Structure 1
Amino acid sequence: MDTTLQDPLVGHVLDGRYRIEARIAIGGMATVYRAVDTRLDRVLALKVMHPSLAADAAFVERFIREAKSVARLDHPNVVGVFDQGTDGTYVYLAMEYVAGCTLRDVLRERGALQPRVALDIAEPVLAALGAAHLAGLVHRDMKPENVLIGDDGRVKVADFGLVRAVDTATNTSTGAVLGTVSYLAPEQIEHGTADTRADVYACGVVLYEMLTGARPHSGTTPAQVLYQQLHEEVPAPSQSVPGLAPELDELVASATARDPELRPAGAVEFLGLARTARSGLTDTQLDVAPPLAKAGTLDTPVRRAGSGPDDRTSVLPRAAAARASTAQTQRQPAPRAEADPSAGAAGEDELNRTSVLRPQLLPERPVNDEPPPRLPRRAPGGLRMPRRPVLTLVTAVLLLLGIGLGVWYINSGQFTHVPAVLSMEQGRAEKKIHDAGLDVKVKHGFSDVVDKGKVISTHPKSNARIRNTGTVTITISRGTETAEVPNVAGMSLDDARAKIEDAGLSVGKVTKRFSDETPRGDALTTDPKAGSERRPDSAVSITVSKGAPIDVPDVIGDEIEEAESALRDSGFEVKIAEEQVFSDEDKDTIAAQNPPEGSRAAEGDTITLTVSKGEEMIEVPSVEGNSLDDARDKLEEEGFEVGVDRFFFGDTVFHQSVDGGDEAPKGSKITLRVR
Structure 2
Amino acid sequence: MSVNQTDPMIGRLIDDRYQVRSRIARGGMATVYLATDLRLERRVAIKIMHGHLADDASFKERFIQEARSAARLAHPNVVNVFDQGQDDDSAYLVMEYLPGITLRELLQDHKVLTSEQAMDILEAVLSGLAAAHRAGIVHRDLKPENVLLADDGRIKIGDFGLARAATANTATGAALLGTIAYLSPELVTRGIADTRSDIYALGIMLYEMLTGEQPYKGEQPMQIAYQHANDTVPAPGIVNPSVPVELDELVLWATARDPEHRPRDARALLDQLLDVQRALADPSGPPANRTMVLPSAAATAVLPGPGRGATADTQIVPKARHRTGPIGPESDSNAERLQNDAARRHRRGAILLVIVILLALVAGGAGWWFGSGPGAEAAVPDVAGQDPAAAASQLIEAGFEVAPDNRGDFSVDVPAGQVTGTEPDATSRQPKGSTVTMVVSQGPRQLDVPSVVGGSFDAAESALADFALTDPIRQFDEKDAGTVIGIAGVGGDGNAMGLAEGSTYGEQQPVTLTVSLGPLPDVAGQELSEAQATLQKAGLTGAEAGREYSSDVPAGAVIRSQPQADGPVKPGATLDLVVSDGPAPVTVPDVTGQTLDDATAQLQALGLRVSYDDCAKFTCAFYDWEAALPVTASDPGAGGTALVGSTVTLSYRAD
Tell me, yes or no, whether TM beats 0.5.
Answer: no
TM range (shorter): 0.3 to 0.5
The structure whose RCO (Cα within 8 Å, separation 6+) is larger is 1
For the pair shown, the structure with the greater C-alpha radius of gyration is 2
Query: How high is the TM-score relative to the length of structure 1?
Result: 0.43
